[in-house]
Structure 1
C-alpha cells in the first residue's frame, strides 16, 4: 500500500509540491508576487459582501498574529536574517528578502483559507447530494445487473485526489483566486464524487 501509485499521488500533491513551492517561491525578487491581488480582493468583496469581507480580514489578522507574531516566530526569523556589514556576496540580503516574502506568503495563505471557509458549507452540501445520487444510481444499475467498470472508479478516485491537491496547492500560487474558481472546484468535486459512488464495487 505504501508503495502504490495512489499513495505516491498523495505524497506529491499534499507534501512535495506545497513544500517545494513554499521553499522556492520566497526567493523571487518581486515582492508583489506575495500580495493579495486586487482582482482577488474585489472578487471576495463582491461575493461575500462588505461585512463578511471585513470579518475575514480581521480573522486573518488575528490568526496570523496569534500563531506567528505572538509566538515570536516572525521576530526571530527577521532577526536571524538581518543585514550584515560583512561582505558576503549578497547572501544576507537574499536571506532577508526570502524571510520577508515567506511571511507575506504565509499571511496570504491564511487569508485564502479563511475565505475558503465561507464556501465549504455549500461545497459540502453539494458533494453529499452528488454522492448520494451516485449511490442510488449504482444500486439501480446493480438491480438491473448492469456492468460497472472498475477503471471508472479508479479514475474518479484519482480525480478527487487531484482536485483536493490542486485546491491545496493553489493556496500558495501567486494567482488571484476569484469566486468562479471555487464554483469550478465544487462542480468538479461533485461530478467526481457522483462518478466514484456510481461505479464503486
Structure 2
C-alpha cells in the first residue's frame, strides 16, 4: 500500500461534546414573549425594557442558539431559533426606525401582513414539531395562534382581540420557558424531573 493510498483511507469524525443550545433559545424566546404580551394584555406600556429584551435576549441569544443548533446539524433548531431571533430584531426595528427618523411608521395593514407571515411560517414549523415532544408542539401551536390573533387585531383595529392575544401569548411564552427549563433540569438530574411528553 502506497503512502498516497493510506492517506485516502483515513477518515475524520468530529465528536460533538457541546451543550444543548435549545434551552437557551426556548427560555430567551419565552421570557421575551411573556413580557411583550403582558404589554399586549394591557398591564404596562411598551418601553425600553421590552425593546432591550427584544434586542438582546429574544434577539441575540436566540440567534446564538440557532447558530449552535446549526453546528449540531439540527436544521429545525437552526431555522427556528435564528428566525425568531431575527423576528425580535425586526420588531424592534419596526418600532424604533420611525422614532429615529429613518423610516415612516408601519400602518396597521402592513403590520397585520408582517404578523400573518410570521404566523404562516410558525404554522409550517408546527408541522415539524409533530416529530418532536408535546411541549414543543404546544409552544409552536400557541405561537401560530398568537401571530394570527395579533394580525387579526391589527387588520380589524379591534383592541379586544389584541388583549386576548396578549393573554394567549403569555401562555405561549410560559410554555416555552417550561420546555427550556425542563431540559436543563432533566439533564442536571439525569432523569425526567419535568416531563416534555
Q: Normalised by the size of structure 1, how large is the TM-score? A: 0.24
Of structures 1 and 2, the one with the larger relative CO (CA 8 A, separation 6+) is 1
| Higher Rg of the two aligned structures | 1
Q: Normalised by the size of structure 2, how large is the TM-score? A: 0.24
